[in-house]
Structure 1
Amino acid sequence: MAADRSTDIAQTFRDINRTRRDIYKKYQDFSRELKKSSSLDDKVQHLILLSNAIISQCDMCIALHVQGAATSGATKDEIIDAAWLAVAMGGSPKMMYLRYVYDEIAAIFDEDE
């Protein structure tokens, strides 16, 4: 994960835990239950969440879900295809968020090559 977003994400979670741990814990429980009871595997879930992150214009979410998709076995092409589905739904403003996808792909996959 790109270092600056990784640091931002970690700090955000620390701040949330410090200020409203009770609510965040309930949110985490809800998210875990969705994941556990889903008929979709981890890879597909992360690819869908990546598309939603782009639609929502959340660069930190994009970073998390590119990483999650890759960890779950998604290829570069699958990640890029999921990202382009968001562009198809959201138009050219969402295309600008592909920058975060490409940054994460470079950090994850290009170091393996």
Structure 2
Amino acid sequence: MDAAEKAAGTLAKMTQRAGNVFPNYLAFTKEISEFGPIDHKTQELIHVACSMMSQCEMCISLHIQGAASHGASKEEIMQAAMLAISMGGSPKVMYMHYVFDELEDLFD
């Protein structure tokens, strides 16, 4: 099971087991994504960088897939991930293998 599949399973369990809390959280995040002028591709690229900063394997996978589905190129996704490295240093370099794995699955 890859990281995106694990994340989907976790989100499904949260929906089942967290009452109204998780659906309300999802509504909140949806509202944020629809607020303001930033297009969805750019939002996903920002999420890629934030996922790297958070060192969240499942988030990296999901947001790379999201960025690609909104038209981001392999090069744009790489740059977003590398911007996180510029802020986070060597520990973020170690998470690039998740980026490389996901990009290989999507683009190669």
Decide: shared fold, TM above 0.5.
yes
- TM-score, normalising length from structure 2? 0.95
2:72 — aligned with what? Answer: 74
For the residues of structure 2 that align with 1:21 and 1:36, how far apart are their CA atoms?
24
Aligned counterpart, 2:14: 16
User: Which residue in 2 is equivalent to 1:30?
Assistant: 28
Which 5+ residue runs of structure 2 have no aligned equivalent? none
Aligned-pair distance for 1:7? 2.3
The offset of 1:6, in angstroms, is 2.5
User: Is 1:40 aligned to 2:38, yes or no?
Assistant: yes
**Highest relative contact order (Cα 8 Å, sep 6+), 1 or 2?**
1
Offset from partner CA, 1:90-110 (integer Å, 9 cap, x none): 000011111111111000111
TM-score for both structures, normalised by structure 1: 0.91
Q: What SS does the corresponding residue of 2:72 show, helix, strand or coil?
A: coil
Runs of 4+ more than 3 Å apart? none
Shift of 1:49: 0.6
1:102-113 correspondence to structure 2 within 5 Å: 102-110=100-108
Give 2:57's aligned amino acid: D
Aligned residues between the structures: 108
Identity of aligned residues (%): 43
In structure 1, runs of 5+ residues without a counterpart are: none
Give 1:23 shift. 0.7
SS in 2 for 1:70: helix
